[in-house]
Chains A and B, each alone.
Chain A
Amino acid sequence: MRAVFTKELLDNFRDRRVIINTLILGPLMGPVIFALMISFMTRQATERMEAPLELPVVGAEHAAQLIAFLERQGVEILDPPDNPEQAVRDETHEVIVRIGPEFAEHWREGRPAPVEIIADQSLRYTGASIARVRGYLSAWSQQISQARLQLRGVHPDVVRPVFATVTDLSTPESRGGMLLAFLPYFILITVFMGSMHMAIDTTAGERERKSLEPLLINPMPRWQIMAGKLAATTFFALATLGLGLVAFVYAMGFLPVADMDMALNLDFRVAAWAFLLVAPAALLAAALLTILASFAKSFREAQSYMGMVIIVPMIPSLWMLVDPARAETWMTLVPLLSQNVLILELVRGEPINLAWVGLSLASTTAVALLLALIAATLYNRPRLIFTSA
């Protein structure tokens, strides 16, 4: 078994393409994409919040006071386009405010004066602008209503029976955790990427080179040959995982998180825990991909199966993203989901729940060993040995 392990490592280390792809590009890809994505997102968000709001107003002449208020708030009032609805649909403007001629009349009579906000709420990026317009309008509305009440000798608090505040208990770490929601996916994908090439090369590749038949003639139980191959594949997966985590720690250091009042809790201590958590998943990935690749007759055929498998580690991450549920014990029993949940807890800076870590390690190892056992029996099937049989 050791002989197979060392040979597979030597064989694959000789291939410069493999080394560059799996040990350099693979681990770097995640952190780089992730860091770029986050810094882009945050920069966009701050720019959007801080840039002066440009607001075309239809019928500005009907509400001179409101316009003056908006201008005092720093809003840049623009001349309206001829067809406001069309302009929003064309995305030339995000938000347009329309003040009808009846505004002045309603205003004088003390009835609610209509203001129309024209926007397409299905466009996600307009959300912030709409919220800002609403905010200005309600601030003005409140100002006027207080003035009107005081004019009639009523204390404004009379119409404010409840005073609600939010005490935010989030910490910079936990807010940073929100930002890292997709981190588990990027970590899990590295073990799949890392084991992919080896899994194919040691099985389908061996068949393509027609070297499997002579190999199996050696006096060695077939499960041992498979075990050596699996060990080499797992080793590669772990190496990719380790390198990937180190790259993540460094990449996160480049993010302007302090500006956002957040802290990214991803230092080497957290990375070490993440490595421990994901290590059984490396064996799982190696065994799963090896099983699949064993059925393929050639490299190319095996690669076509792999595309589908890469989706597997995505499922729990996407699910957590769509339906952010609280971490519960049963989740730690589901391989891949448990790594997701626990890594998120880690980066939020929560205390480590050792029982959960234990459950996650045990359940993932159990499933991984089961897959490895299945893989070990594969070479007892003649169909998988001969290229043409």
Chain B
Amino acid sequence: MLKKTTTLGVTTALALVMGASASFADTIKIAFIDPLSGPFASTGTNGLHQFEFAAEKLVNEKGGVLGGEMFEIVAFDNKISPKESLIQLQVAIDQGIRFIAQGNSSGVANALTEAVEKHNKRNPDSRVLFLNYAAVDPALTNDKCNFWHFRFDANADIKMDALTDVMAKDDSIKKVYIIGQDYSFGKAVADAAVANLGAKRPDVEIVGNELHPIGKVKDFTPYARKIVASGADAVITGNWGSDMLGLGKSVIENGYTGPIYTYYAAGSGITAAFGEQGKGTIRLIAQGEINPPATQEAADMYTAYKAKYPDGNIDQSRIFNVIDMLKLAIEDAGTADDVVAVATALEGMEYDSMWGGKVFMRPNDHQAIQDMHIHAHTDEGVTFDYDNSGFGLVTEETVKMAAMDSPSTCDMKRP
């Protein structure tokens, strides 16, 4: 038995060495730094699969970039800790990687963007770019912005801006209840909701604005009672994970029938768990149209993805935008080594996304401006469901190029 294991080990090691040496041949590496173990492992792993798939389909199968150079995604597990992320960033830089992708947790993104800025200042020969595909803290493209950071998702303020644009059109909404998790993101969502609703619909009454302890509430029934008792016509929440599901289910079960506007009430089992109950109630603000698929290319891509990962969802379609935009920028710059040239090509890029609409990388703060959609959780008209549940997100409303002229406090310093 021992001998067998040893042989197996040696073979694996050999295979790894050979694999590694094979990959030295002209690849452009992208470091994927996100949680691959621990409580958020499923989110991180799902993101990694989408990155690998996008690189394969959009770049490698089409002959690569710059006449045959391939994209390679190199995964680093940061255990969602900012400290660990900085170590992994250093490892990635030491391996000669020029592009860093990260998305889960704004805390990590804040640490990474600072570290990248410092590194690039001190080491002009090995500069790196930070491709942020999901961390939505507005500060990253405002006070803390820098030339090396690009955000491909809409930030929390833009999402709320688009969400309230749609809510403002609905005259039946008179009373709004805001509830969130008691930490920076929950507070940011609540503040943005109050500010936006106040500006767009001064007649709307905010009947509740509260934060609950994050990950500690066993039973959301008392909160649900307060929401029902307040007579709210709409609920806004930035909750995610089990806090999202617990709150949503409880509110629906206790007799609330209006819309619940959310940021993260889909995928990772949540869509399946809401099932029939969430129909007609759960709404979600996000980029990318899945149902109906925006283009034939997107539909084919989703079908191929499901063939490879039957249990997976494409729940972050912007990842495909990241890969394709990076590819175009590298081709435009004519090099993958000079990241200043690549960043300059990326700035101001207007990109036609297969998931619908345009993506415009705003040069003054490196915030992607794109169409935002209000999705409904339903089982009607669903081409691609989530969690193999028959339920999915169907586009209900679209805000074109959301928050195009929104102000930014970013003072971009270019090299």
A and B form one complex: no
A residues neighboring B (CB under 8 Å): none
On B, residues with C-beta under 8 Å from A are none
